[in-house]
Amino acid sequence: MIEVQNNRSSCPISTALEILGDQWSLVIIRDLFLERTAFSEFRKSPEKIATNILTDRLNKLLNYDLIGYILNPKNKKIKIYYLKDSGIDLYPLLYELSIWSKNHLDMKFHPLSEDWYKEAFLKTPLELINEKSVKYRSFREVIFTKITA
């Protein structure tokens, strides 16, 4: 359970937005689902997050126990970030935001998004959400296995 202190409201939506409602937190979580794991990989995202903001948001997500990291055994200066179960449980939110965007925003989407939409419309929301969650947990296990081997 995430310990919440000094929240301005007892409303669960308001409190969740205090944790995730900034411009970058869900983008970082999206990138983790895309199997990006290093600071340098987050910096290469199309949104071009500034290094100071990225550092701040990673620390925030770490403090709320949504993500974790392990040190790269070959270079202890490199952190390998991963989603904890509480972060993986945010996938339905990412799914719904993405579908809402596809249905309501008149814009050109990134090719990765277009591929995802094609895949998403072939499955039920529950099938896709379960599949992506299981896939990420498997990816996370591969990370741990490689690091501890």
Q: Does 87 reside within a domain?
A: yes
Question: What predicted TM-score, i.e. pTM, was given to this entire model?
Answer: 0.91
- Quick check: is 40 in a domain? yes
Tokens of 80: 């390998």
With tokens 């501890």, the residue in question is 148
* Confidence check: pLDDT of 120 > 90: no
Per-residue pLDDT at 101: 93
64-95 pLDDT tens trace: 999 999 999 888 899 999 999 999 999 999 99
CB 42 within 8 A of CB 28: yes
Q: Is residue 7 part of a domain?
A: no
Count of domains for the chain: 1
pLDDT at 70: 95
How high does pLDDT run on average in the chain?
Answer: 92
Does a structural domain hold residue 5?
Answer: no
- Judge whether 21 lies within some domain: yes
Identify whether 1 is part of a domain. no
Tokens at residue 1, please?
Answer: 């359970």
Residue 103, domain CATH: 1.10.10.10
For 15, 30, 88, 102, 148, the CA distances from 84, given in Å and listed in that order, are 19, 13, 6, 28, 18
Q: Using one digit for the tens of pLDDT, what is the confidence trace for 104-113?
A: 999 999 888 8
Q: Which residues contact 111 (CB under 8 A, 6 or more apart)?
A: none
pLDDT of res. 9: 84
Q: What is the pLDDT of residue 149?
A: 65
Q: How confident is the model at residue 56 (pLDDT cuts 50, 70, 90)?
A: very high
Is residue 99 in some structural domain?
yes
Question: What pLDDT, on the 0 to 100 scale, is given for residue 1?
Answer: 85
144/124 Cα distance (integer angstroms): 31
| pLDDT at residue 5, as a whole number | 79
What values do phi and psi take at 85, rounded to 5? -55, -40
Q: Is residue 59 part of a domain?
A: yes
CB 43 within 8 Å of CB 54: yes
> Predicted confidence band at 139 (pLDDT cuts at 50, 70, 90)?
very high
Which position has the token pair 């390998």? 80
Residue-wise pLDDT tens digits, 19-45: 898 999 999 999 999 999 999 999 999
Tokens of 54: 């990225």
For residue 50, give its domain range.
12-148
Among the listed residues 10, 23, 2, the one whose alpha carbon sits nearest the alpha carbon of residue 89 = 2
Q: Tell which residue, 102, 138, 107, 141, has the closest CA to residue 119.
A: 102
